[in-house]
Amino acid sequence: MKPASQRALSFLISLALMIGAVVVYALFIVPSNTSMQSLRGQVINKQTELKQQEAALNDLNDLLEKFHDLNSAQDLMSFALPNDPSVAQIVNTLNGLANIDSIKIKSISLQSNINKSSKQPAYVQNIGTVKMHVIISGAYDNLKSFINHAEKNVRIMDISSFNIVEDKTSSSSNGPRISSASSTPASSQMIFAVNLEMQAYFQEALTSIKK
């Protein structure tokens, strides 16, 4: 075969391959890309719908929780400001907080009284106080956490004064607390004792209303 004929044949074969590639691209690749883009758009739309449905469900749950909170508001108020001193509730609350914050309650003394006023209307309930003297012992950070939890507790309490000193009884019974490489952080902490003067509140139950 002559060189000119070979070059022409090579050109025709290359042209045919190029045309075939264009045809394959047009018939198969382009539709596939279009289909993939369509599927990707559908997936994005479904994801958007799912997020919207999740948001609607969360809004519904929030409404249900608010409705439940409205129903339990009276119970919450009764717990925060009961109609009697509820001394057992106070003791249980302090013991629970002590367990949470890993401290020791060494003593609790309580005394309740009602602040009566002759000037207020009969339908206004008198507010009473439960005065507490509490001695607690533990690591400094744990004591600080206990005080913070007590002030933020549902039962209305406040701390009028406190005094913090080193708990020498715990130090002597457990030996000197010396920090070393083999000691754990808990064992190297100094133990303190805190004398707390606290108050909890309650409202006197109404027995009758004068007209």
CA distance 130 to 85: 7
- Whether pTM > 0.85 for this model: the answer is no
Among 24-33, 184-193, 196-205, top mean pLDDT goes to 196-205
* 63 vs 59: CA distance, rounded Å: 6
Does the pLDDT at position 142 exceed 90? yes
**Amino acid of residue 99:** N
Lowest mean pLDDT among 20-24, 55-59, 132-136, 184-188: 184-188
Asked if residue 180 has pLDDT above 50, the reply is no
> Average model confidence (pLDDT) for the chain?
77
| pLDDT value at 127 more than 60 | yes
pLDDT more than 70, % of the chain: 72
Which two three-digit tokens encode residue 32?
A: 């596939």
Residue 190 phi, psi (nearest 5): -75, 140
Q: What is the pLDDT of residue 174?
A: 45
Identify the band that residue 211 occupies on the pLDDT scale cut at 50, 70 and 90.
very low
DSSP per residue, the chain: --HHHHHHHHHHHHHHHHHHHHHHIIIIIHHHHHHHHHHHHHHHHHHHHHHHHHHHHHHHHHHHHHHHHHHHHHHHHHHHS-SS--HHHHHHHHHHHHHHHT-EEEEEEEEEEEE--SSS-TTSPPEEEEEEEEEEEEEHHHHHHHHHHHHTSSS-EEEEEEEEEE-HHHHHHH------TTS-TTTTSPEEEEEEEEEEEEEPPP-----
Bridging pattern class, strands 157-166 and 127-139:
unpaired
pLDDT tens profile 13-70: 777 788 877 777 777 777 777 777 777 888 888 888 888 778 767 776 776 676 666 5
Task: Extract the tokens encoding 100.
Answer: 């949470």
Joined together, the tokens standing for residue 72 give: 């339990």
In the predicted structure, residue 185 carries a pLDDT above the cut 60: no
- The CB density around residue 61, as the number of other CB atoms within 10 Å, is 10
Average pLDDT (114-131) is 73
Q: Taking residues 108-132, what's their average pLDDT?
A: 78
CB-CB contact of 203 with 165 (8 Å):
no
